[in-house]
Structure 1
Amino acid sequence: MPSRTTVLVIAGSVLALAIACALSLMVGARTVPPGTAWQALVAYDPTLADHAVVHSRLQRTLAGLAVGIALALAGAGLQGMTRNPLADPGILGLNSGAAAAVALGVYLLGLGSVTQFMVAGFLGAAVAAVIVYAIASASRSGATPVTLAIAGAAVTAGLGSVVNGLVILDQGALDRMRAWQVGTLGARDLGDLARVAPFLVAGVLVVLGSARALNALALGDDAATGLGVHVGRVRTVLGIGIVLLVGSAVSLAGPVGFLGLVVPHAVRLLAGSDHRRLLPISLIVGPAVLLLADVAGRVVAPPAEVQVGVMTALLGVPVFLVLLRTRKRVAL
């Protein structure tokens, strides 16, 4: 039986997600009353301006749900798999690897569809993960949390330069990638979501199904092996699931950073570190945080709009610095 605290956290998370979805449908450059928004959902009339606004925001909200789930679960899975509290798809270079692969595909192959972006994102995220781990492992101290974070920062900077160089060389690529490059939820429709959904669902099932194995890995590789866990196999399968999640998220919204860092830590503070609770609650909290950040980006500087990737960075950078400083103090 789940504890009372866990039940309260789950209930609060579901309520926060419901509020975030409602605000995402109603709030923006044109505010839509709750009754009108509900009517647009149950009896859509394309001739009514408010209904058209809600319909366009519905696609954006669904994209936010998908991307929030993917990044929050990927972050929680990475932190458990590496036993690194600083792990995040953005910090460890997976987002930048996927973005660089998409940029290369756009520049060299003329990629344009979400399916093509998705395949490129999968390959780029996987290659970046291997490079970051290889660089961190080559250091004297091995692949520690700090060396992984430093290697990830170096790879992210290098791949970011590649992306910037490519979009400057090709004006068409620049036009197609300008908003996507900083992270946006408004660039995809329901058809794009449907094409990504099978890979996203597969990644979600893999990571959620690894909860018990992640609990064993938290005790150390030797202890996990003693408990009957095949450590190498678990990390390989979990890595595939995480790459599916990151590739799906990047193909839909671009490289949105820090969500996978912030959400698991927040959930861990509220519900503990048992991955049987941490993973499903992160699945709920992740899209709630992302949608609220997207709503904030619409209203913070009207009539302009701040992309959601910028808003999550504004939230995540201070949290990352606090965590890094805490880890340093512990090490000393």
Structure 2
Amino acid sequence: MTASKQPSGELKKVVEKKIKPITALRLRRIIGLAFALFLLTVAVFLSLMIGAKPLSFDVVWNALFSTSDSYDYTIIHESRIPRTIVALAVGPAFGLAGAVIQALTRNPLADPGILGVNAGAAFAVALAVGVFSITSMSSYIWFALAGALIATIAIYIIGGGAGKKSPTPVQITLAGVAMAAALDGITTALSLVNSRAFAGMLNWRVGSLARKGLEDLWPIIPFLIVGILIALVIAPALNAIAYGDDRASSLGVNVKMIRIFGLISITLLAGGATAIAGPIVFLGLMVPHCVRWFIGPDQPWIFLYSLVIAPLILLLSDIIGRVVMSPGEIPVGIITGFVGAPILLILVRRRKASSL
């Protein structure tokens, strides 16, 4: 009897050893996500309080739940609430688009900016404004989505995706950088040729949340929601793709369909966000990396964290841009560039980038 019980006891110990780390990691992820949501809430209130005219927490709180004709009430409701809500919409879009691109391409250095997706959307919007004189958000959102989609497909084909083998991460990155440089040059040329049409879009070209109204955001919200839902649905399958296409297929994953849906998600997220806020750089690169350093290479969790961390970083960057040159401000796209560039240098100096 003793001999028969001993193996079962050893088996129980082995199972307990395997279960405890998994439970501890899951608990850490849940606590971390709750803490990130708390920090995001704090950043939202800071965004409402800090600006050319600083406001106290009491003033902001009262303005949220009461009506008034005061100047402070007007500032909060006509300026700071709209730009904060825009940040809460486009931040998750850029962060999640970067996470999806990195998972699909198995390239830890990929993001909508480096791979030229943002540049494709920005070029299409510039074409709509400069050539067709389209200035309404509900109209040129379609140009932004088309530009993001065409740029993504072109980069994949140029990088070698038209052949029998899938393109390597290096090939896709080089193709994306080349595509982004070319499209940025054409966009700049369009703005110089028709400077009057682009006079009101100077901040948009570097990425900005200033002077964005909720009426500009509503046409884009459906596209962002669909893009987020698609990304969350395909997230578990992307864990299998991280081991390679052949291994994923052997596990029952339809790799081609996942890539198609991933492409649609990237187009909706990057194209929609770029249409309203401009091509904000590095956000889609640094957020998934920061998340993976903390929770590990698990795509569903990476996607959930990206939805929270990206708007947090975007709001904090926007706040910094308002403070450093008060009463003026620096567009948020420039601030994210200053923050993201050192992170990119750190990644380059690391012997091994965060595993996917």
Counterpart-to-counterpart distance in 2, 1:234 and 1:327: 30
Q: Secondary structure at the match of 1:185?
A: coil
Q: Percent identity?
A: 42
Matches within 5 A, 1:59-138: 59-137=82-160
- Could you tell me whether the CA contact under 8 Å between 1:167 and 1:177 is conserved in 2? no
The CA deviation at 1:329 is: 9.3
Q: State whether structure 2 residue 233 is matched by structure 1 residue 209.
A: yes
Counterpart-to-counterpart distance in 2, 1:88 and 1:138: 18
**Residue 244 of structure 1, aligned match among 268, 289, 310:** 268
The CA deviation at 1:138 is: 7.5
Question: Structure 2 vs 1, CA of residues 171 and 157 (structure 1 numbering), >3 Å: closer, same or farther?
Answer: same
The CA deviation at 1:239 is: 0.6
The CA deviation at 1:143 is: 2.6
Counterpart-to-counterpart distance in 2, 1:82 and 1:94: 14
Counterpart-to-counterpart distance in 1, 2:195 and 2:244: 50
- Could you tell me whether the CA contact under 8 Å between 1:203 and 1:242 is conserved in 2? yes
Q: State whether structure 2 residue 324 is matched by structure 1 residue 296.
A: no
TM-score normalized by structure 1?
0.95
Matches within 5 A, 1:104-183: 104-137=127-160, 143-183=167-207
Counterpart-to-counterpart distance in 2, 1:77 and 1:129: 13
The CA deviation at 1:328 is: 7.9
The CA deviation at 1:82 is: 0.7
Counterpart-to-counterpart distance in 1, 2:331 and 2:215: 22
Q: Secondary structure at the match of 2:84?
A: helix
Question: Structure 2 vs 1, CA of residues 139 and 179 (structure 1 numbering), >3 Å: closer, same or farther?
Answer: same
Q: State whether structure 2 residue 252 is matched by structure 1 residue 228.
A: yes
Unaligned runs of 5+ in 1: none
Counterpart-to-counterpart distance in 2, 1:86 and 1:155: 16
Counterpart-to-counterpart distance in 1, 2:241 and 2:262: 12
Counterpart-to-counterpart distance in 1, 2:102 and 2:161: 20
Partner residue in 2 for 1:270: 294
Counterpart-to-counterpart distance in 2, 1:178 and 1:297: 16
The CA deviation at 1:187 is: 3.3
Counterpart-to-counterpart distance in 1, 2:353 and 2:207: 33
1:51 alignment partner AA: Y
**Residue 307 of structure 1, aligned match among 314, 323, 331:** 331
- Could you tell me whether the CA contact under 8 Å between 1:86 and 1:324 is conserved in 2? no
The CA deviation at 1:327 is: 6.1
The CA deviation at 1:149 is: 1.9
Counterpart-to-counterpart distance in 1, 2:145 and 2:288: 23
Partner residue in 2 for 1:19: 42
TM-score normalized by structure 2?
0.88
**Residue 52 of structure 1, aligned match among 58, 74, 77:** 74
Counterpart-to-counterpart distance in 1, 2:204 and 2:243: 39
2:74 alignment partner AA: A
Structure number with larger C-alpha Rg: 2
Counterpart-to-counterpart distance in 1, 2:196 and 2:351: 44
Residue correspondences, number: 329
Q: State whether structure 2 residue 280 is matched by structure 1 residue 256.
A: yes
* Aligned CA-pair RMSD: 1.9
Per-residue CA deviations over 1:221-252 (Å, capped at 9, x if unaligned) read 01110111110111001110110001110111
Unaligned runs of 5+ in 2: 1-22
Counterpart-to-counterpart distance in 1, 2:353 and 2:81: 45
- Could you tell me whether the CA contact under 8 Å between 1:26 and 1:32 is conserved in 2? yes
- Could you tell me whether the CA contact under 8 Å between 1:180 and 1:187 is conserved in 2? no
- Could you tell me whether the CA contact under 8 Å between 2:227 and 2:266 is conserved in 1? yes
Counterpart-to-counterpart distance in 1, 2:350 and 2:169: 12
- Could you tell me whether the CA contact under 8 Å between 1:95 and 1:246 is conserved in 2? yes
